C-alpha cells in the first residue's frame, strides 16, 4: 500500500485517523473537499511536513487547518514573504501553516508547533473542469504518492525537508461521496478502482429532476487513486460567463469546446513503441502493460509502421528500425509482448526516450509510451520530448499513476494521454489513442471571442486539436454589460485536406452569478501555468504579470 507523505520534520510518522472526501459535480465542474484527520502521538511539540497531490489542472481554492477547535486559514502571498512569516511564527512558538507548490504540481504543507497529543484536521477545497474525450470522461482523484525513481531533491526539485517519503505497511481508511448533477447523470457510470454504490435521488433547484449519488460500496484504504468513469456521453460544447469580482469591468468566459472535424480521413500510423519494464511496474501494472501492448498490436493495419522497445535502467530494442505490418513481424511482436516482465531495475526514462528517438525510420513518427511515470527527473524528460519534434501518446498504467508528468509529456508535444488502472479493460483507451493518431492535423487553430468585448488576456489553445476531445480555454474580457459576455464564441482552424478555415465548434456562453469568483480563479490559474511553462520565451513585460498571478 502507498500513501500521501505525512511526517514530522524529524521524520516521525503521525497517526492518520482517516480521510474523507466529499464532492459535487455540476455539469462538468467538480467541486471537491478532502478532510484528513491526524494526531501527534509524540510527547513533545512537532513541526509537520505533509505532501499531497491534486488532479491535473485542479485549482486549490482553499486550505484550512483545525487545531482543537481553532481554525487556521491559508492566504496567498509571495513565496519569500510567506516563508519569512512562517519561520517567524514558528520561532515564537505559535502555530503556523505554509503551503507551497512543487515542480511536479504536488503541494507541500508545513505545520509548525503541533502540540503533544493534539488533533489536527486538514481540509483542502479545490475545483476542476472535467474534460470528456470522444464520448467518455475519466474522473481521477489522486489519494496516494507512489515511490519515484531518482533523487527527490536533485531531480524532483523538492526542498530537502519536504522530500516525500511513503510507507508500504500502513493502512489508512478512506471514504468518499460524490453528488452528480446535470448532464452527467445520464451517463453510464462505474469505477474500475473501487466497488461503489450508485443511486438516483431527487434534485432540488436543478434542470434535471434527479441527481446521482456515488459512494464506496465497501470499506476502503488509501492504497490507490479513486477513479470514476462516465461513458456513453453525448459530445457537446458549452460555455460559462461571469464578472470578475476583483476587477470591475472585467468579465471571464470559459469555453469548453468539443471539436468536430469536417472529415475523418483515417491516416496510417508510424510509431515507436516504448514500454516501461522497470521494477515499479511489477505485479498488476506489467500485466496491464502487456494487455495494452497486445491491444495496440491488434489494431495495427496494412500501411502502418512500428518499432518495439522496452526500458528500465537499460534500453532493449526489439526492432532496430521500423517494421511493416505483415504476418512474420506481427507474430514476432506478439511473442515479444507476451514475454514482457518488469525486470529492468530503475526507471531511466530520459535515456530510453533519447535512444528510441534515434531509431532509423521515416522523418516524422509518433512515440507510444506505456508507463506508470514514477520518476523524479520530470523536466529532463519533458525537454527531451519537446526538442524531438515527435508527438507523444501515453498510456498511464497502474493504481497511482504520475498523472502530471504524463499529461505534460503529451500536451507539450501535441499528443494525448489515456489511463488504465489494474484489471481495467484497455481496448477502449487504445481505440481512442488510435483515433487521434490517425486523425488529420489541425493547424492555425484560434478562438474568436465575443465580438463586442475587448480581450484583456486569453489562455492558449493546446498544441493539438483532436476530434471529440474537449478543449477548455478562458478569456478575461473588458465588457460594458453582461450581455456582451454571452456573445458567440468559435473555435476555428485549418484541417489537412480541407480548403480554407473551418469552424470546429461554437458556443453561446451562459451568464452565471459566480459569487465565489471561481471562473476568474480558474482563468488565472490556467494563465499562470501557461506563462510559467513558457517563461523563458515570455516577453519581459509579462514577467510582472506572472508574479502577480502567482501571488
Walking along the chain (551 residues) 10 residues at a time, the average pLDDT comes out as 47 70 94 89 80 89 85 82 89 84 86 82 94 94 86 88 70 91 93 96 80 94 92 93 94 96 85 96 94 96 96 95 96 96 95 93 87 92 92 95 93 95 91 94 95 94 95 96 96 93 96 94 91 56 43 40
Phi and psi torsions of 118, nearest 5°: -80, 145
The whole-number pLDDT of residue 546 equals 43
DSSP class of residue 217? S
Distance CA 38, CA 68 (A): 11
The whole-number pLDDT of residue 169 equals 59
Phi and psi torsions of 297, nearest 5°: -65, -40
Those residues with Cβ within 8 angstroms of residue 89's Cβ, 6 or more apart along the chain or in another chain: 95, 96, 112
Fold: same for 238-263+441-550 and 270-437: no
DSSP class of residue 251? E
Those residues with Cβ within 8 angstroms of residue 353's Cβ, 6 or more apart along the chain or in another chain: 274, 367, 369, 381, 384, 385, 388
Sorted by where each begins, the domain ranges of the chain are: 5-231, 238-263+441-550, 270-437
H or E element, residue 502: strand 501-507
From residue 185, alpha-carbon distances to 27, 190, 399, 434, 546 in Å are 9, 12, 26, 28, 38
Would the pTM of this model clear 0.95, i.e. be above it? Answer: no
Phi and psi torsions of 46, nearest 5°: -135, 160
- Enter the CATH code of domain 238-263+441-550: 2.60.40
Other Cβ atoms within 10 Å of 1 Cβ, number: 15
The whole-number pLDDT of residue 520 equals 95
Distance CA 482, CA 423 (A): 49
- Enter the CATH code of domain 5-231: 2.60.40.1730
The whole-number pLDDT of residue 394 equals 97
Beta carbons of 14 and 48 less than 8 angstroms apart:
yes
Task: Write out the three cell numbers for 275.
Answer: 514500454
Beta carbons of 260 and 467 less than 8 angstroms apart:
yes
| Torsional class of 252: left (φ above 0), alpha (ψ -120 to 50), beta (otherwise) | beta
Correct CATH for 270-437 of 3.40.50.1820, 3.40.190.10, 3.40.50.1100, 3.40.50.410: 3.40.50.410
Per DSSP, the residues of 336-375 read HHHT--S-S-S--HHHHHHHHHTSSS-SS-EEEEEE---B
Task: Write out the three cell numbers for 547.
Answer: 508574479
Amino acid at each position: 500500500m502507498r500513501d500521501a507523505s505525512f511526517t514530522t520534520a524529524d521524520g516521525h510518522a503521525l497517526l492518520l485517523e482517516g480521510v474523507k472526501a466529499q464532492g459535487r459535480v455540476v455539469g462538468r465542474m467538480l467541486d471537491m473537499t478532502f478532510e484528513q484527520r491526524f494526531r501527534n502521538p509524540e510527547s513533545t511539540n512537532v513541526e509537520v511536513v505533509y505532501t499531497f497531490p491534486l488532479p491535473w489542472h485542479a485549482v486549490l481554492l482553499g486550505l484550512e487547518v483545525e487545531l482543537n477547535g481553532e481554525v487556521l486559514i491559508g492566504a496567498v502571498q509571495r513565496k519569500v514573504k510567506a516563508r519569512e512569516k512562517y519561520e517567524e511564527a514558528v520561532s515564537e512558538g505559535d502555530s503556523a501553516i505554509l503551503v507551497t507548490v512543487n515542480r511536479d504540481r504536488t503541494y507541500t504543507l508545513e505545520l509548525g508547533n503541533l502540540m503533544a497529543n493534539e488533533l489536527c484536521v486538514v481540509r483542502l477545497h479545490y475545483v476542476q473542469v472535467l474534460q470528456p474525450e470522444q464520448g467518455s470522461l475519466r474522473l481521477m482523484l489522486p489519494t496516494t504518492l507512489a515511490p519515484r525513481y531518482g533523487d527527490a531533491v536533485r531531480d524532483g526539485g523538492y526542498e530537502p525537508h519536504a522530500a516525500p517519503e511513503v510507507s508500504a505497511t500502513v493502512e489508512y481508511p478512506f471514504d468518499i461521496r460524490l453528488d452528480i448533477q446535470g448532464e452527467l447523470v445520464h451517463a453510464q457510470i462505474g469505477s474500475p478502482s473501487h466497488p461503489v454504490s450508485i443511486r438516483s435521488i431527487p434534485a432540488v433547484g436543478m434542470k434535471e429532476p434527479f441527481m446521482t449519488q456515488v459512494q464506496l460500496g465497501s470499506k476502503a484504504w488509501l492504497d490507490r487513486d479513486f477513479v470514476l468513469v462516465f461513458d456513453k456521453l453525448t459530445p457537446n460544447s458549452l460555455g460559462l460567463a461571469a464578472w470578475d469580482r476583483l476587477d470591475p469591468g472585467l468579465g471571464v468566459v470559459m469555453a469548453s469546446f468539443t471539436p468536430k472535424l469536417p472529415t475523418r480521413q483515417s491516416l496510417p500510423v508510424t510509431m515507436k513503441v516504448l514500454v516501461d519494464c522497470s521494477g515499479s511496474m511489477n505485479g498488476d501494472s506489467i500485466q496491464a502493460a502487456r494487455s495494452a501492448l497486445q491491444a495496440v498490436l491488434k489494431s495495427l493495419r496494412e500501411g502502418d509502421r512500428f518499432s518495439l522497445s522496452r526500458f528500465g535502467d537499460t534500453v532493449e530494442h526489439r526492432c532496430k528500425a521500423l517494421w511493416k505490418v505483415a504476418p512474420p513481424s506481427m507474430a514476432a511482436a506478439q511473442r515479444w509482448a507476451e514475454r514482457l516482465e518488469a525486470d529492468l531495475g530503475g526507471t531511466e526514462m530520459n535515456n530510453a526516450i533519447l535512444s528510441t528517438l534515434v531509431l532509423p525510420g521515416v522523418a516524422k513518427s509518433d512515440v507510444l509510451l506505456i508507463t506508470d511515470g514514477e520518476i523524479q527527473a520530470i523536466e529532463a524528460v519533458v525537454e527531451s520530448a519537446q526538442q524531438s519534434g515527435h508527438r507523444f501518446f501515453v498510456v498511464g498504467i497502474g493504481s497511482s499513476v504520475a498523472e502530471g508528468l504524463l499529461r505534460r509529456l503529451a500536451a507539450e508535444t501535441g499528443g494525448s494521454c489515456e489511463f488504465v488502472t489494474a484489471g481495467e479493460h484497455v481496448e477502449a483507451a487504445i481505440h481512442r489513442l488510435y483515433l487521434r493518431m490517425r486523425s488529420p492535423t489541425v493547424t492555425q487553430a484560434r478562438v474568436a471571442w465575443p465580438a463586442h468585448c475587448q480581450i484583456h488576456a486569453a489562455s492558449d489553445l493546446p498544441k493539438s486539436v483532436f476530434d471529440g476531445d474537449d478543449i477548455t480555454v478562458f478569456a478575461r474580457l473588458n465588457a460594458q454589460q453582461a450581455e456582451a459576455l454571452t456573445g458567440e464564441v468559435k473555435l476555428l482552424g485549418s484541417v489537412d485536406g480541407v480548403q480554407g478555415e473551418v469552424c470546429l465548434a461554437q458556443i453561446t456562453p451562459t451568464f452565471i452569478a459566480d459569487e465565489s469568483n471561481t471562473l476568474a480563479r480558474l482563468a488565472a490559474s490556467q494563465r499562470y501555468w501557461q506563462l510559467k511553462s513558457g517563461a523563458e520565451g515570455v516577453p519581459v513585460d509579462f514577467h510582472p504579470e506572472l508574479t502577480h498571478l502567482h501571488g
